[in-house]
């Protein structure tokens, strides 16, 4: 069946470190891919998205490239800040579907 | 409103009691979703409403769970005879169409069954 697998946390980084959170998916066709972020005490927010192969989504210094050949959508940021501490969820929506399937989330803690 | 509003933000209930959770979506959003977020389990799809179409209830975990959406706007998720395993954060989201456009999530209702 369709699924999303993302690296397990928690991840702890020092400020200004490089961040990678891996995400791979199993789906047929050409899904749309998303990263959502949940800051402490808040609801989920859309961070970035990509809707076709080789698209790069970007926002707030975060980037992710839709790689169909490896069915991946890894999240990266060159220099994390304390304010990036949150839980990050990878998700996809199948073509013609209306339902997001989420990974289990990766908790990121950035220390000064 | 400006965002998706959920109430209550926290609910503690005794095992066996019924609870109702409310969601006010963004005005004009035709699609409304309920998800459940359990510790270590990620987000679990529960139910989806789109306009006047019949809802997709395929994610509801048991017949104790039901949801309705009145007038294409406000939605209520009802859990009857609550069990301890129902303890979770229940999230509502709305969208103007498919998820391609991005869902807007509410802050959720944290349900604790004691």
Q: pLDDT per residue over A25-62, tens digit each?
A: 998 788 899 999 999 888 889 999 998 899 999 999 99
Question: B17 to chain A nearest CA, in Å?
Answer: 26
For B5, nearest residue in chain A (alpha carbons): A43
How high is the pLDDT of residue B101? 65
Shortest alpha-carbon distance between residue A16 and chain B (Å): 28
Inter-chain contact B108–A32, Cβ cutoff 8 Å? no
- The residues near B103 (Cβ < 8 Å, ≥ 6 apart) are A44, A46, A100, B33, B93, B94, B95
Q: How far apart are CA B38 and CA B66, in angstroms?
A: 18
Chain A residue whose CA is closest to B90: A43
Beta bridge partners of A100: A93
pLDDT of residue A94: 81
Query: Residue B53: pLDDT band by 50, 70, 90 thresholds?
Result: confident
| Cβ proximity of A14 and A85 under 8 Å | no
> Cβ A34–B93 below 8 Å, yes or no?
no
Q: Are A9 and A106 in contact, with CB atoms under 8 Å apart?
A: yes
Query: CA angle, B99 as apex, B96 and B7 as ends, to 5°?
Result: 70
pLDDT in tens, B7-27: 999 999 999 999 999 999 999
- Mean predicted lDDT score pLDDT of chain A: 92
Q: Is residue B102 within 8 angstroms of chain A, CB to CB?
A: yes
Is the pLDDT assigned to residue B1 strictly greater than 60? no
Which residues of chain B neighbour A42 with C-beta distances below 8 Å? Answer: 107
Token pair in block for residue B36:
């459940």
d(CA B84, CA B69): 26
Residue A62 tokens read as: 């975060």
* B106 contacts A93? CB cut-off 8 A: no
Rg (chain B; Cα; Å): 13
- Nearest-Cα residue of chain A relative to residue B30: A98
Between chains, do B102 and A103 touch, taking CB under 8 Å as contact? no
Closest by Cα among A2, A6, A3, A1 to A73: A6
Total residue length of chain A: 112
What's the pLDDT score for residue B51? Answer: 84
Q: Which residues of B touch A32 (CB under 8 A)?
A: 99-100
Residue B77 has pLDDT above 90, yes or no: yes
Work out the average pLDDT over A85-101: 86
């Amino acid at each position: 069946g369709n699924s999303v697998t993302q690296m397990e946390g928690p991840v702890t980084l020092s400020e200004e470190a490089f961040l990678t959170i891996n995400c791979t998916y199993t789906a047929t066709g050409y899904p749309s891919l998303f990263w959502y972020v949940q800051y402490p005490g808040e609801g989920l927010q859309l961070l970035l998205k990509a809707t076709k192969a080789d698209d790069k989504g970007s926002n707030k210094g975060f980037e992710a490239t839709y790689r169909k050949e490896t069915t991946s959508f890894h999240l990266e940021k060159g220099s994390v800040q304390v304010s990036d501490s949150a839980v990050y969820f990878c998700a996809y929506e199948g073509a013609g579907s209306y339902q997001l399937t989420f990974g289990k989330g990766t908790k990121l803690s950035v220390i000064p | 409103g400006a965002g998706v509003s959920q109430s209550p933000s926290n609910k503690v209930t005794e095992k066996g009691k019924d609870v109702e959770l409310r969601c006010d979506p963004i005005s004009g959003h035709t699609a409304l979703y309920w998800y459940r977020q359990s510790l270590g389990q990620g987000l679990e799809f529960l139910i989806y409403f789109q306009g006047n179409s019949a809802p997709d209830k395929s994610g509801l975990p048991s017949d104790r769970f039901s949801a309705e959406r009145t007038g294409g706007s406000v939605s209520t998720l009802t859990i009857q005879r609550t069990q301890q395993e129902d303890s979770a954060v229940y999230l509502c989201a709305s969208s103007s169409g498919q998820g391609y456009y991005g869902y807007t999530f509410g802050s959720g209702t944290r349900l604790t069954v004691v």
